[in-house]
Amino acid sequence: MDKLMADLKEQIIEQLNLQDVKPEDIGDDQPLFGDGLGLDSIDALELIVLLQQKYKVKLSNAEDGPKIFRSVRTIAEFIESNKIPNA
């Protein structure tokens, strides 16, 4: 899980062009939206694309988005629980 969260931080920075942010600046449980990392709705869509492209995980219910994208840890937990074996 720690390795996945570290990878996710790097992927988020790259995918969302957060050029002033370093992986160590993002806490595992830090909120990604609102007062946390300050991501917006377009970033949320980019995160969905990231999960689909990089981790082959699809968000089937949009209403789950706020819960899944709350922090790096919640995204990692979602990937772990939805990944296709040997994918």
Contacting residues toward another protein, per CB under 8 A:
16-21, 38, 42-43, 45-46, 49, 52-53
CB of 35 to another protein, least distance (A): 14
Nearer to another protein, 5 or 43 (CB): 43
Nearer to another protein, 4 or 21 (CB): 21
CB of 15 to another protein, least distance (A): 8
DSSP annotation string for 52-82: HHHH------GGGHHHHTTSHHHHHHHHHHH
Nearer to another protein, 16 or 57 (CB): 16
DSSP annotation string for 19-34: TT--GGGS-TT--SBT
CB of 37 to another protein, least distance (A): 10
- Residues with Cβ within 8 Å of 15's Cβ and at least 6 positions away in sequence, in order, are 46, 47, 49, 50
